[in-house]
């Protein structure tokens, strides 16, 4: 049996950073026997053998009752392990070491990594690791996962540690150790092993938090920071997107068109106007998507994302939820699916269902691609960031409205929010690059199959029968569009756009590719056509409907799986469709009456 280590730690201790530092980009998500969830795992070379490292959800207490804590406990109870690698924040050791004492009851070999040692040193905190090792009965190493300090030594120590524990074992039954016993033991250990200055001087984090966590200024500053993120995304990504679009057009004109010139007309059309224009138009926006992930990685790795949850906790409490639900909403910016799975940190089922009903309104990266295309094509460079910002605000408002409508079910079981606020950090360029590469690669790997299948199907619907003009009323797509026209006409959405929306139900990534096939144009040519055919009112109505109308099939499947209820899934679908039509109708009719 191969060797396996479980990686355990509290939230915001840098556990995921250490996981990525040790394993690189080779992580995968998989199912585990006896568990109904997926966990992240990766192989790493320690000594002369491969070891599987499994990243468990962050937890505060081994005996807690949140879904994440149950998952971690269930894993160590059921899976054979060589040992457990525990990651703690060195600057908060007096609050986090109790978790290690709890986990000793498992009877498994343990290794303790004290992360953020560089920050602890800067604050005058000293740890006597040799005393800590003797009192805990396990190896202890000081590291900085962010900068890689101590990580090579950690790998060497892990290699020697595994030689002492070559066989996998199962954990003992987890006993509920008395809290006062743990507290007494903890005090004895800390008195000999940890030195903290009697009076810590105000840190940079404290000074910044005076403004960013201000009860009146905090939320406006958060909105300004997010607006600045969008300005940066456009400023960096738009020129790169234009350059890549030009390159793709040149490849099509100079290389591909002559290459397929001898094929039948329908085959040439399928390859160039179908697959190449559809997929190429989507790929041309990859620079902006990378820029967005880079900007969001800065916000997350700097420590500001946790503060956003803290800021929104009071507002979310009025809606029957806490700041964790807002964090899941922010996670949905990347993809709704992992954000849905992240709701396991919610302690009550009612709160978890409400959070899952909110997440489909998050402006995910797939929707972002659609909005970037339309804002660039129809709106001026000065107006585009504001338009995108308004869509993000709308996504939050709809999420809050959803929670407000469900507050009667959630308020009575609301628990206080417990979370550690990490110090502010300056993210390293290497870490940002890895995260942007990982997120963009995930987007492409997950979306690639949908995009190719989608544009192929759109080409078929817009070109069959072959003896009629493409995308004309006589094609299959034209017949479908005529059937649904009464639904979309009051929203300012024409027949061709409505066909793209139908494919967006499967995956939003298909929408832009579908438009490229429908209009028979890609890149800058498609942007020009949309700018000619649509005014700003029609474009915004289309984007508003796209934001709200339905999550993709993957999100719906995850919602069904995580909630264990068909009724919740259908309720989410009906609510999003109804809200999309009503809000787009109200906007279009009002804007048309006011601006003509």
The 10 Å CB-count burial string (b at 16+, else e) for 117-138 is bbbbeebebebebeebeebbeb
| CATH number for the domain that contains residue 166 | 3.40.50.300
Quick one: pLDDT band at residue 428, thresholds 50, 70, 90? confident
- Looking at the fold, whether 443 and 495 belong to one and the same domain comes out as yes
**Is 34's pLDDT higher than 50?**
no
Task: Report CA-CA distances (Å) from 13 to 56, 90, 154, 223, 293.
Answer: 13, 9, 16, 26, 22
**96/61 Cα distance (integer angstroms):** 9
**Is 30's pLDDT higher than 90?**
no
431 is a domain residue: no
Reduce the DSSP state of residue 325 to 3 states and report it: helix
* pLDDT tens, residue by residue, 119-169: 888 888 899 999 999 999 999 999 998 888 999 999 999 999 999 988 888
- Looking at the fold, whether 378 and 506 belong to one and the same domain comes out as yes
* pLDDT tens, residue by residue, 543-556: 999 999 988 777 88
Q: Residue 303 region, left (φ>0) first, then alpha (ψ -120 to 50), else beta?
A: left
**282/264 Cα distance (integer angstroms):** 26
* pLDDT tens, residue by residue, 317-376: 788 887 778 877 877 776 787 678 667 666 677 888 888 999 999 888 788 888 988 998
**What is residue 450's predicted lDDT score, i.e. its pLDDT?**
63
188 or 20, which is more confident: 20
When pLDDT is averaged across residues 571-584 and rounded to a whole number, the result is 95
* pLDDT tens, residue by residue, 224-243: 887 787 677 767 877 887 78
**What is residue 110's predicted lDDT score, i.e. its pLDDT?**
95
- Looking at the fold, whether 297 and 229 belong to one and the same domain comes out as yes
**What is residue 329's predicted lDDT score, i.e. its pLDDT?**
82
Phi, psi of 49 (to 5 degrees): -135, 155
Write down which residue in 162, 195, 228 finishes a domain: 195
**Is 32's pLDDT higher than 60?**
no
**What is residue 563's predicted lDDT score, i.e. its pLDDT?**
84
Q: Residue 191 in contact with residue 277, Cβ under 8 Å?
A: no
**Is 199's pLDDT higher than 70?**
no
**484/507 Cα distance (integer angstroms):** 20
Nearest to 399 by CA among 293, 287, 548: 548
459 or 339, which is more confident: 459
Write down which residue in 136, 162, 195 finishes a domain: 195
- Looking at the fold, whether 277 and 364 belong to one and the same domain comes out as yes
Reduce the DSSP state of residue 358 to 3 states and report it: helix
207 is a domain residue: no
Which tokens in the block code for residue 54?
Answer: 């499994």
Site of tokens 């040799």: 130
- Looking at the fold, whether 304 and 351 belong to one and the same domain comes out as yes
Q: Tell me how many domains the chain contains.
A: 2
419 is a domain residue: no
**Is 442's pLDDT higher than 90?**
no
The neighbour count for residue 259, using CB atoms within 10 Å, is 12
69 or 338, which is more confident: 69
186 or 268, which is more confident: 268
Which residues, including other chains, have CB under 8 Å from residue 353's CB and lie 6 or more apart?
406, 409, 563, 568
**416/21 Cα distance (integer angstroms):** 33
- Looking at the fold, whether 289 and 399 belong to one and the same domain comes out as yes
**What is residue 47's predicted lDDT score, i.e. its pLDDT?**
82
Going by the DSSP 8-state scheme, the letter that residue 522 receives in this structure is -
**What is residue 161's predicted lDDT score, i.e. its pLDDT?**
94
586 is a domain residue: yes
Which tokens in the block code for residue 566?
Answer: 């068909």
DSSP state letters, 69-135: HHHHHHHHHHS-BSEEEEEEEGGGHHHHHHHHHHHGGG---EEEEEE-HHHHHHTT-EE-HHHHHHH
Could you give the count of Cα atoms lying within 13 Å of 273 in the half-sphere of its Cβ? 18
Cα 482–chain centre separation: 37
**Is 29's pLDDT higher than 60?**
no
Q: What percent of the chain has pLDDT over 90?
A: 23
**Is 282's pLDDT higher than 70?**
no
Q: What is the mean pLDDT of the chain?
A: 81
- Looking at the fold, whether 178 and 280 belong to one and the same domain comes out as no
**Is 176's pLDDT higher than 50?**
no
Q: Residue 425 region, left (φ>0) first, then alpha (ψ -120 to 50), else beta?
A: beta
Which residues, including other chains, have CB under 8 Å from residue 255's CB and lie 6 or more apart?
none
When pLDDT is averaged across residues 214-233 and rounded to a whole number, the result is 80
- Looking at the fold, whether 152 and 277 belong to one and the same domain comes out as no
When pLDDT is averaged across residues 497-501 and rounded to a whole number, the result is 87
Going by the DSSP 8-state scheme, the letter that residue 413 receives in this structure is G
**What is residue 35's predicted lDDT score, i.e. its pLDDT?**
41
371 is a domain residue: yes
Nearest to 73 by CA among 85, 88, 57: 57
41 is a domain residue: yes
- Looking at the fold, whether 483 and 549 belong to one and the same domain comes out as yes
**398/569 Cα distance (integer angstroms):** 17
Sign of the dihedral defined by the CA atoms of residues 495, 500, 502, 508, in that order = negative
Nearest to 345 by CA among 356, 358, 334: 356
* pLDDT tens, residue by residue, 460-477: 888 888 888 877 788 888
Range of the structural domain that residue 477 is part of: 219-411+436-595
**Is 111's pLDDT higher than 60?**
yes
Pairing verdict, β 83-89 and 3-9: parallel
Which residues, including other chains, have CB under 8 Å from residue 307's CB and lie 6 or more apart?
209, 212, 213, 421
- Looking at the fold, whether 161 and 290 belong to one and the same domain comes out as no
Angle at 503 between CA 500 and CA 508, to 5 degrees: 90
208 is a domain residue: no
Angle at 102 between CA 321 and CA 121, to 5 degrees: 85
When pLDDT is averaged across residues 522-537 and rounded to a whole number, the result is 84
Q: Strand 49-55's sheet: what is its strand order?
A: 28-31, 38-46, 49-55, 3-9, 83-89, 110-115, 140-142
**What is residue 382's predicted lDDT score, i.e. its pLDDT?**
87
Going by the DSSP 8-state scheme, the letter that residue 416 receives in this structure is P
Q: Which of 254-263, 365-374, 385-394, 581-590 has the highest average model confidence (pLDDT)? A: 581-590
Which residues, including other chains, have CB under 8 Å from residue 568's CB and lie 6 or more apart?
353, 356, 357, 559, 560
Cα 240–chain centre separation: 24
**What is residue 545's predicted lDDT score, i.e. its pLDDT?**
96
- Looking at the fold, whether 405 and 294 belong to one and the same domain comes out as yes
**415/372 Cα distance (integer angstroms):** 39
Compute the residue count for the chain.
Answer: 596
When pLDDT is averaged across residues 187-204 and rounded to a whole number, the result is 68
- Looking at the fold, whether 400 and 519 belong to one and the same domain comes out as yes
418 is a domain residue: no
Write down which residue in 137, 162, 195 finishes a domain: 195
Task: Report CA-CA distances (Å) from 546 to 285, 364, 528, 549.
Answer: 18, 11, 21, 6
């Amino acid at each position: 049996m191969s060797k396996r280590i479980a990686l355990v730690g509290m939230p915001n201790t840098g556990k995921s950073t250490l996981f990525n530092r040790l394993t690189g980009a080779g992580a995968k998500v998989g199912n585990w026997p006896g568990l109904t969830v997926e966990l992240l795992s990766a192989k790493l070379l320690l000594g002369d053998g491969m070891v599987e490292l499994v990243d468990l959800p962050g937890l505060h207490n081994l005996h807690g009752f949140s879904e994440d804590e149950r998952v971690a406990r269930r894993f160590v109870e059921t899976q054979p392990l060589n040992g457990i690698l525990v990651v703690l924040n060195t600057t908060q050791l007096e609050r986090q070491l109790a978790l290690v004492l709890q986990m000793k009851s498992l009877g498994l070999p343990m290794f303790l990594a004290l992360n953020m040692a560089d920050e602890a040193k800067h604050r005058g905190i000293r740890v006597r690791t040799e005393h800590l090792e003797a009192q805990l009965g396990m190896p202890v190493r000081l590291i900085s996962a962010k900068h890689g300090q101590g990580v090579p030594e950690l790998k060497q120590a892990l290699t020697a540690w595994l030689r002492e524990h070559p066989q996998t074992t199962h954990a003992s039954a987890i006993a509920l150790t008395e809290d006062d016993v743990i507290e007494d033991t903890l005090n004895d250990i800390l008195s000999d092993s940890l030195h903290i200055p009697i009076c810590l001087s105000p840190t940079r984090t404290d000074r910044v938090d005076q403004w960013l966590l201000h009860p009146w200024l905090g939320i406006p500053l958060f909105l300004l920071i997010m607006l600045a993120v969008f300005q940066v995304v456009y400023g960096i990504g738009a020129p790169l997107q234009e350059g890549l679009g030009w390159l793709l057009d040149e490849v099509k004109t100079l290389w591909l068109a002559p290459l397929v010139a001898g094929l039948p007309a329908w085959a040439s059309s399928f390859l160039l106007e179908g697959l190449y224009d559809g997929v190429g138009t989507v790929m041309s926006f990859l620079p902006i998507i990378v820029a967005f992930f880079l900007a969001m990685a800065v916000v997350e790795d700097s420590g500001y994302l946790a503060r956003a949850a803290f800021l929104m906790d009071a507002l979310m409490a009025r809606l029957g939820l806490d700041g964790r639900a807002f964090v899941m909403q922010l996670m949905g910016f990347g993809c709704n699916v992992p954000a849905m799975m992240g709701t396991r940190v919610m302690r009550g089922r009612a709160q978890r269902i409400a959070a899952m009903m909110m997440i489909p309104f998050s402006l995910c990266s797939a929707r972002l691609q659609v909005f970037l295309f339309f804002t660039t094509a129809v709106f001026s460079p000065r107006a585009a960031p504001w338009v995108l910002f308004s869509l993000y605000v709308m996504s939050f408002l709809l999420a809050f409205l959803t929670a407000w409508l469900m507050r009667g079910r959630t308020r009575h079981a609301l628990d206080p929010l417990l979370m550690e606020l990490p110090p502010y950090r300056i993210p390293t360029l290497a870490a940002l690059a890895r995260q942007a590469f990982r997120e963009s690669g995930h987007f492409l790997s997950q979306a690639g199959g949908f995009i190719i299948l989608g544009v192929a199907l759109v080409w078929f619907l817009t070109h069959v029968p072959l003896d009629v003009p493409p995308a004309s009323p006589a094609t299959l797509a034209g017949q479908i569009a005529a059937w649904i026209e009464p639904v979309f006409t009051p929203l300012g959405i024409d027949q061709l756009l409505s066909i793209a929306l139908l494919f967006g139900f499967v995956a939003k990534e298909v929408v832009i590719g579908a438009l490229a096939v429908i209009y028979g144009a890609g890149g800058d040519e498609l942007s020009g056509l949309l700018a000619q055919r649509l005014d700003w009112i029609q474009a915004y109505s289309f984007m508003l409907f796209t934001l709200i109308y339905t999550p993709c099939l993957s999100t719906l499947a995850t919602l069904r799986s995580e909630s264990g209820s068909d009724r919740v899934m259908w309720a989410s679908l009906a609510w999003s469709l109804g809200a999309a039509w009503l809000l787009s109708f109200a906007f279009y009719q009002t804007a048309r009456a006011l601006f003509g």
